[in-house]
Amino acid sequence: MVHESHAASEGSYLTNPKGWKSWLFTVDHKRIGIMYLLFIVISFALGGFFALALRLQLLSPVKFLFTAKQYNQLFTLHGAIMVFLFIVPSIPASLGNFMLPLMLGAKDVAFPKLNLASFYIYVFGAIFCVFSMISGAADTGWTFYTPYSTTTDTSVISMTLGAFILGFSSILTGVNFIATIHKMRAKGMNWFRMPLFAWSLYATAIIQVLATPVLAITLLLLILERTMGVGIFDSKLGGDPVLFQHFFWFYSHPAVYIMILPAMGVMSELVTTFCRKNVFGYTTMAYSSIAIAIISFLVWGHHLFVSGQSDNAAAIFSILTFLVGIPSAIKVFNWLATMYGGSINLKTPFLYFLSFIVLFCVGGFTGIMLGALSLDVYFHGTYFVVAHFHYVMMGGTVMAFIGGLHYWWPKMFGKMYSEFWGRVACFFIFAGFNMVFFTQFILGAKGMPRRYFNYLDQFQSLHAFSTVGTWVLGLGFLIMAFYLIDSLINGPPAPANPWGGMTLEWQTQSPPIMHNFESAPVVDHDPYDYKRMDG
Amino acid sequence: MSNQLENTVQHHVAHHFDTAEQEFTTAKLGMWIFLVQELLFFGALFVAFFVFKYLYPQMYIEAHHHLSWKMGALNTVFLITSSFTMVMGVRSAQTNQRRATMNYLFATMMLAFCFLVVKYFEYAEKFHHGFLPPHFFSGEGVHQSLPIFFGLYFVMTGLHGIHVLIGIGLIAWLMYRSSKGEFNSEFYTPVEMVGLYWHFVDLVWIFLFPLFYLVG
């Protein structure tokens, strides 16, 4: 299964074939993954820029830099860009695209041309979002709630059309991944010899295929409501604005699992490699991903506890919401149990693993609090919700994305980065993140409502602390940008398997050749069988 | 291989597949998953349809009198027949009958056009009487929520119509490839995939027709 690396003459996928056209028309999943990565990182920077700007306004309790409307536009752009352009595609489209076929021992995804089409659909959708930005940015919040979104004069149509198009990119990626996992696995790799990252991408793809079309049609209905009228969200005609919320969250709640499930998959890969130990409870890990995907479809009503939903429905949604805690906790306990007795290697990716565990637990527990009816009535629409969401999405998904990026960076680019600066950046990001968002739990608990550009004087010191935190956080990302770019230029060449990983992507050279493997791998053991490897 | 046919094109299995069978079953799986996506896409609209049917049953009864069930029934016949010709097209491709494949595909396409022509007359009639989505609604009616019915009617039949148009494009593409002799008993994947899509489009109409036209 381990191949002699005599492919040096062929050159890696990065240089063979050459020329910009060979990139734009490539059907190689690795190149498409890299192009996604570039756009995703740019989107993250853009969304982060809006976050810095809106936090700056919040230094002062009164009008300071922006008007109320500009502030509304800023948080809408921050949310919409971060959700639709960054976090939904982040791990699956970039790291997933690159790693899934390698981990399965395949030459490519099932439908390479469709994969390239997904990428261009993503770019096309992004153009509409950017157009909204410069043509009177939407000010509805990223949730586009009716009736405000059907009456505001800002450019809602191009933003929602952008998100509609991005949805199809996501759906087609999901179709591709499901077919890839079913049909492209290497000889001998049965379902329970698949790496857990592949399992998590499978669960993610199910949600992408089943939930995203509902968002697409909802946004389309919103666009049509603004242009020709449909009436179903218009209370003047007897329509129901709350129906929009049901439709929206029927997608958008499962969508947060589109965001977190791949992150959990990355976590499993990190913990096994950097503890040099088989993942504790592999089977429960695999099934809990699927369980999360299934339960995710049954909880959307917890966003509507105060929207006039019936008490019975609210109670049922509350109970179903608690259920999500079970598979999530299974995962956290399994990760911790994997660390127990492992030979822990505190490299940069593992520091992000540890950050994830801490932040995700805070995010998860506050999620249970918000799922409880009585607490939610108080916390709804406060900074507590904002903090919870960011602990799960940024503390969870973004940490895993960065951890995964550092883990696979040597494989993707064939270069090592500075371990020292990696740790420094991780420290700033972890500290900065908690400064920004832990403060917001306190603000929310004291009653600070979200989405306001001004506030009572008594909240100023906490708001100011949170804003300073964004600078620490930003500094961390700046350091990361510098040392990662530096590694591309000056970094020492990476060995094929710098961390001692067991999964198939480490069995080929770094960076891989165009067809991934010299000869098709054959799998005859479990994915993390370190005992066997260590003899 | 179909050596009795002239200028056939040998299909090459794409580089990342091991066998033609793997390639075919993968394509088929992908197509089914895509159709699941389509189902959810229309599904949300059907949910909206039922929500308002539950809220305003009287309005639905009033509104459906403005639709011609005869036109709808005619279109149902067109589409069901077209599903049959599509199946025969796939069958002919599998059995190397290239001329029959072309004929059946052409028949399917013509039936799709007939569907759209009938739809055109139906739409024109709605425009004439002002039974349009809310912003343009000027029809005469009793129930204040009547425009919602026509909002849903135009969105759902409109999206279905777009799917029919896409289907026509796909069938034209099949005919082009078939004319070059690309399909035979060894390779007929695109014909089968478009066939699946076409049956789905047919099936959506099978639900739209009774719900909108016969709801009273």
**Structural domain spans, chain B:** 26-213
- With left for phi above 0 and alpha for psi between -120 and 50, is residue A304 left, alpha or beta? alpha
Mean pLDDT score, B139-144:
87
Flag whether pLDDT at A161 surpasses 80. yes
pLDDT per residue as tens digits for the range B62-105: 999 999 999 999 999 999 999 999 999 999 999 999 999 999 99
Q: What percent of chain A has pLDDT over 90?
A: 90
Contact A410, A494 (CB under 8 A): yes
How many CB atoms sit inside 10 A of residue B199's CB? Answer: 16
What is residue A337's predicted lDDT score, i.e. its pLDDT? 97
Query: d(Cα B82, Cα A34) in Å, to the nearest integer?
Result: 44
Tokens read off for A109: 């995804």
Residue A8: band (very low, low, confident or very high) from pLDDT cuts 50, 70, 90: very low
What is residue A223's predicted lDDT score, i.e. its pLDDT? 95
* Start-to-end CA span in chain A (Å): 16
Q: What percent of chain B has pLDDT over 90?
A: 88
Mean pLDDT score, A336-345:
95
CATH number of B26-213: 1.20.120.80
Residue A7: band (very low, low, confident or very high) from pLDDT cuts 50, 70, 90: very low
pLDDT per residue as tens digits for the range B89-98: 999 999 999 9
Residues of A contacting chain B (CB within 8 angstroms) = 106-112, 114, 171, 174-176, 178-179, 182-184, 209-214, 216-218, 221, 224, 227-232, 234, 237-240, 243, 247, 250, 515, 520
Smallest Cβ–Cβ distance between A183 and the set B26, B56, B134 belongs to B26
What is residue B215's predicted lDDT score, i.e. its pLDDT? 80
Query: d(Cα A13, Cα A169) in Å, to the nearest integer?
Result: 24
Q: What is the average pLDDT score of chain A?
A: 94
- Contacting residues for A277 by C-beta, under 8 A, at least 6 apart: A338, A341, A342, A343, A528, A530
Flag whether pLDDT at A531 surpasses 90. no
pLDDT per residue as tens digits for the range A480-523: 999 999 999 999 999 999 999 999 999 999 999 999 999 989 99
B chain contacts of residue A214, beta-carbon cutoff 8 Å: 40-41, 43-44
Mean pLDDT score, A144-155:
92
Instruction: Give A187's strand partners.
Output: A522
Please tell me whether the peptide bond between A493 and the residue prior to it is cis, using omega within 30 degrees of 0: no
Integer CA distances (angstroms), A16 to A39, A100, A490, in order: 22, 21, 21
What is residue A79's predicted lDDT score, i.e. its pLDDT? 96
- Contacting residues for A66 by C-beta, under 8 A, at least 6 apart: A53, A54, A57, A74, A453
Query: d(Cα A414, Cα A395) in Å, to the nearest integer?
Result: 28
Query: d(Cα A332, Cα B136) in Å, to the nearest integer?
Result: 55
Interhelix angle A29-57/A97-104, nearest 10 degrees:
140
Task: List the single residue in B with minimal CA-CA distance to A111.
Answer: B27
pLDDT per residue as tens digits for the range B44-63: 999 999 999 999 999 999 99
Pseudo-torsion of CA A10, A11, A13, A19, nearest 10°? -100
How many CB atoms sit inside 10 A of residue A348's CB? Answer: 26
Q: Judge: A184–B155 Cβ closer than 8 Å, yes or no.
A: no
pLDDT per residue as tens digits for the range A195-239: 999 999 999 999 999 999 999 999 999 999 999 999 999 998 999
Residue in the block written with tokens 């982040």: A90
Q: Is A61 helix (H, G, I), strand (E, B) or coil?
A: coil
What are the E-state strand segments in B136-192?
A: none
Domains of chain A: 20-523 (1.20.210.10)
Please tell me whether the peptide bond between B134 and the residue prior to it is cis, using omega within 30 degrees of 0: no
Residue A535: band (very low, low, confident or very high) from pLDDT cuts 50, 70, 90: low
Tokens read off for B89: 């097209």
Flag whether pLDDT at A270 surpasses 70. yes
Mean pLDDT score, A302-331:
94
pTM of whole model > 0.90? yes
Using the Cα atoms of residue A255, residue A257, residue A260 and residue A266 in order, give the sign of their dihedral.
negative
Contact B105, B178 (CB under 8 A): yes
Residue B12: band (very low, low, confident or very high) from pLDDT cuts 50, 70, 90: confident
Tokens read off for A398: 């973004």
Q: Judge: B29–A218 Cβ closer than 8 Å, yes or no.
A: no
Q: How far is B37 from chain A (nearest CA, A)?
A: 5
What is residue A189's predicted lDDT score, i.e. its pLDDT? 95
Query: d(Cα A468, Cα A139) in Å, to the nearest integer?
Result: 25
Contact B148, A238 (CB under 8 A): yes
Mean pLDDT score, A438-464:
95
pLDDT per residue as tens digits for the range A64-112: 899 999 999 999 999 999 999 999 999 999 999 999 999 999 999 999 9
Dihedrals φ, ψ of A522, to 5°?
-120, 130
